[in-house]
Amino acid sequence: MHSEQRLWVEKYRPLCIEDAQQIHRETYKMLGKLAQSDDFPHILFYGPSGAGKRTLTKCLLQELYKTNSVHKIKSEHKEFKASATSSTIVECVVFSSNFHIEVTPSDADNQDRVIVQKLIKEVAGSQQLDTKAQKSFKVVVIHELDNLTREAQAALRRTMETYMPYCRIIANCESLSKVIQPLRSRCLQVRVPAPSGQEITRVLDQISRTEGFDLPSQLAFSISNYSRRNLRRAIMMLQTAKLKNEKLSDKTYIPAPEYETYTRDIAKMVVQEQSPKQLRQIRTKLYELLTKGITSDMIFQILAREFLKKSQSNDKNSAALPEIIKPEVLKFAVMFEHRCKEGSKAIFHLEAFLARVMAIFKGYQIRAMGQKQY
């Protein structure tokens, strides 16, 4: 049963361009051509989560160096002094092959600048280790560029110019607007859209065939729907469903991720009762989400989606708010989300937002009642 346990998202991740033809075919073709030439630029992949950015990076490395050993990765724990005068130690994990290194500097939170200044600059400035390599440069892969502080991003600027003869950066991000302009100006920006529902079902079909089980088309369709066009999520859902059920049918239950249902419950609570007591209970729930590592961004997104979605008259349980107050609720979502970024404690701003939604909704109900009596 060993193979069952291996995550399908890794097992079925294509590692070379020829195997990756199910999605983003044009992009792979373009990158294949680019990799042939010596005019290879710094690259920034941008697009939603689970769209295939990491996979593109891996296939591109393979295409650049024409060897499987780009996938032979070793990991190493590194430590750096935060500055010449301080005793703070900044840690990070570096993944590397003979041809490239991979880092997620944002793992070091506010000290990410140190990783860029020490590690990346040093690697970028040294020669390709393997002198027989296809390319004279090595690659530094930077994950989640949009999560780097501005200082860390700025620290990349001259490094990308000065060491270009020996080094190329391949970075990825979800929100391009969080990447500073000077960096965007230095890269070829490659958009990676989320695969369509059809493409997702095709990948799922392929996996089920290789694993040797039946995937009813209706179920494939609902998984692709629930996945919100996130291919990683869709593959995970399929594997979970298969683990829990011997045989898959159209009716196999596909659970949504727990944090999502949990956040939706919070939205419902706001609509069900508007009182200080209810707000206290909500606070406990918010705390729980935050301590589980769910970001305030995600929570705001789900809450806003729930409040603003179309109300279904037959769904008594819905958190959808009346059309007329939606603009105001959205205005406050934007305002409190912004404050959340500026401030330090996410919980305050999330709670303040929900308190405001309660007040707006209550006001609406009172007005509506008044009109009825009149």
Partner 1 sequence: MVDLDPVQRPKFTPWVEKYRPSKVEEVSHQLEVVAALRKSIQTGQVPHLMFYGPPGTGKTSTILALSKELFGGEFFKQRVIELNASDERGIAVVREKVKKFAQRKIAKHPDSNFNCPSIQIVILDEADSMTIDAQAALRRIIEQYSSNTRFCIICNYISKIIDPLASRCVKFRFSPIARDAQIDRLKFICEKENVKVESDDVFQSLVDISAGDLRRSINTLQTASTFKQNNITKRDIESISGIVPHEFIIKVEQIISNTDGFSDVQFLTQELLWEGFDVQQVIYQILDHLMSNPKLSDLKKARLSEIIAETDVKLIQGGDEEINLLYTLSSVSRIIKVKNKHGSHQ
Ligand X SMILES: Nc1ncnc2c1ncn2[C@@H]1O[C@H](COP(=O)(O)OP(=O)(O)OP(=O)(O)O)[C@@H](O)[C@H]1O
Task: Please identify which residue in 43, 50, 156, 267 interacts with ligand X, judged by CB under 6 A.
Answer: 50
Helices and strands of the chain, counted as H and E runs: 16, 7
Tell the smallest beta-carbon distance from residue 160 to ligand X (Å). Answer: 10
Task: Please identify which residue in 21, 69, 110, 185 interacts with partner 1, judged by CB under 8 A.
Answer: 185
Closer to partner 1 by Cβ: residue 16 or 308 = 308
Closer to ligand X by Cβ: residue 108 or 170 = 170
Site for partner 1 in 209-268 (CB under 8 A): 228-229
Tell the smallest beta-carbon distance from residue 227 to ligand X (Å). Answer: 10
Q: Are 318 and 312 in contact (CB under 8 A)?
A: yes
Residue 228 region by backbone torsions, left for phi larger than 0, else alpha for psi between -120 and 50, else beta? left
Q: What is the amino acid identity at position 79? A: E
Task: Please identify which residue in 63, 112, 199, 337 interacts with partner 1, judged by CB under 8 A.
Answer: 337
d(CA 298, CA 128): 40
83 three-state secondary structure = coil
Whole-number Cα distances in Å, 309 to 74, 236, 286, 292, 320: 46, 26, 21, 26, 5
Q: How many residues does the chain have?
A: 374
Task: Please identify which residue in 116, 148, 152, 203 interacts with ligand X, judged by CB under 6 A.
Answer: 203
Tell the smallest beta-carbon distance from residue 364 to partner 1 (Å). Answer: 15
Q: Which stretch binds partner 1 (CB under 8 A): 10-18, 240-248, 303-311, 357-365?
A: 303-311
Task: Please identify which residue in 126, 249, 261, 281 interacts with partner 1, judged by CB under 8 A.
Answer: 126
Task: Please identify which residue in 125, 182, 255, 363 interacts with ligand X, judged by CB under 6 A.
Answer: 182
Q: How far is CA 191 from the centre of its chain?
A: 14
If one asks whether residue 328 binds partner 1 (CB under 8 A), the answer comes out as: no
Burial of 209 (0-12, 13-18, 19+ CB in 10 A): exposed
Interaction site with ligand X (CB under 6 A) = 9, 12-14, 20, 22-24, 49-55, 157, 174, 182, 185, 203, 231-232, 235
